[in-house]
Amino acid sequence: KSDSDTYSCDIGDAQSRAKLTVQETPVLFKQELQNEEAKEGKQVRLTCELSKPGTPVKWMKGDTVLYASEKYEFKQHGTVAELIIRDVKSVDA
């Protein structure tokens, strides 16, 4: 997408111009989140894989956006996004 712009070829007395528009491909899930079960007090890792590396991910519990903390850790390596939930409690279900 960042290559979208007007390009030109200049020969001194004349110039030719063209506009390049690059359409982004939509980001899709290659692997969706899977249901997990955990014992209270343990750690859980939720993982999904995206079709495009470096895609920003927003993790949510219900309608609440999660933020990095002692409880929640986010990792992203290429196309794989992970949420680690520490010391799970029944309220985390």
pLDDT digits (tens, 9 = 90+) for 3-44: 999 999 999 999 999 999 999 889 999 999 999 999 999 999
Two structure tokens written together for 26:
């939509």
Residues 6+ apart with CB under 8 A from 29: 48, 49, 50, 51
Where do we find the tokens 């007395």? Answer: 13
Neighbours of 24 (CB within 10 A): 8
Query: Alpha-carbon distance 93 to 89, whole Å?
Result: 8
54: confidence class by pLDDT, cuts 50, 70, 90: confident
The model's pLDDT over 55-92, given as tens digits with 9 standing for 90+, comes to 999 999 999 999 999 999 999 999 999 999 999 999 99
Q: Return phi, psi of residue 14, to 5°.
A: -140, 160
Q: Residue 60 sits in a domain of what CATH number?
A: 2.60.40.10
Residue 8 lies inside a defined structural domain of this protein: no
Structural domain contains residue 58: yes
Number of domains, the chain: 1
